[in-house]
Structure 1
């Protein structure tokens, strides 16, 4: 039996603002934007390009406080290109960093990033994301 992670609910204060951030700034695909008002919540589901897991941004589907979700992680095969793309889209993203014995340290331009290279950013509510470079898997 397969157990697949398909959706993560991200708590936000403003669904429209979150939809714009994830679709326009991050480039996530907008899968659904449906509202069952007045009887149910608005459901906005977005998927990162190439991902099998989506997010649902919501101000009602979870008891988590907006901004309290930390540790969401995306994976790319070229971290420097992803970093530049996010900067060009106006996302406040950290410097490219490597993770080692002393925690996160700023990477130099020639640092090898596979498996240890990261950048970090927050959505408008403060939900925390990381992006890791993994070029190939074992």
Structure 2
């Protein structure tokens, strides 16, 4: 049988221009769609869609305030176990105020922490320190909470976005993060 796949040009990654993509949606596995819908709406998220189909199929799209990305919860959507989602980050401009707001909404949320290495938080909590980053550097403070099924959300405080090219004396970010960004830029 002849190969009918389109021929892919052999360009280097640096030479080819990437097509624009946008992350828009993540399916969050839950057991009880209504309970999940109520939980996320209590966070202030908009319910964009609540579709009930045949045989228990259900699609509920929810969008955090100010976000371009959404989640979908429901039934018949995924074979992932309810509560198995990890590593989902909600970006906030003031982690202290956001944590306080979530507590007032009845959400059980962990204490704020940071990783002294300054790059990203370790999974092993022995590497973490209590409280927000002492200098409130962008990308450096976190707090986590779970939805009723145990899906884990991480708040991350970002007050300045990391541009593709930054100056070595940039002060919004941890020195460790800037060192790695510059090292990566020099490799490119």
Structure 1: which 5+ residue stretches go unaligned?
A: none
Deviations 1:99-135 (A, max 9, x none): 2236222116x82333110010011000011000000
Q: CA shift at 1:90, angstroms?
A: 0.6
Q: Does 1:61 align with 2:77?
A: yes
Q: After the TM superposition, which residues 67-78 of structure 1 pair with which residues of structure 2 at under 5 Å, given as runs?
A: 67-78=83-94
1:92 to 89, 98, 108: 108
Contact 2:62/2:71 (CA < 8 Å) preserved in 1?
Answer: yes
Structure 2: which 5+ residue stretches go unaligned?
A: 1-18, 118-125, 163-188
Query: 2:161 maps to which residue?
Result: 137
Residues of 1 paired with 2:94 and 2:146: CA distance? 20
Q: CA shift at 1:96, angstroms?
A: 1.0
Residues of 1 paired with 2:127 and 2:151: CA distance? 21
Q: Does 1:37 align with 2:54?
A: yes
How many residue pairs get matched? Answer: 135
Q: CA RMSD in A?
A: 1.6
Residues of 2 paired with 1:100 and 1:111: CA distance? 10
What secondary structure, in the 3-state scheme, does the structure 2 residue paired with 1:100 have? coil
Q: Which structure is higher in strand share?
A: 1
1:6 to 24, 30, 33: 24
Residues of 1 paired with 2:92 and 2:58: CA distance? 30
What secondary structure, in the 3-state scheme, does the structure 1 residue paired with 2:110 have? coil
TM-score by length of 2: 0.68
Q: Which structure is higher in helix share?
A: 2
Deviations 1:65-89 (A, max 9, x none): 0011111001011110100000000
Residues of 2 paired with 1:106 and 1:135: CA distance? 19
Higher alpha-carbon deviation: 5-14 or 111-120: 111-120
Larger Rg: 2
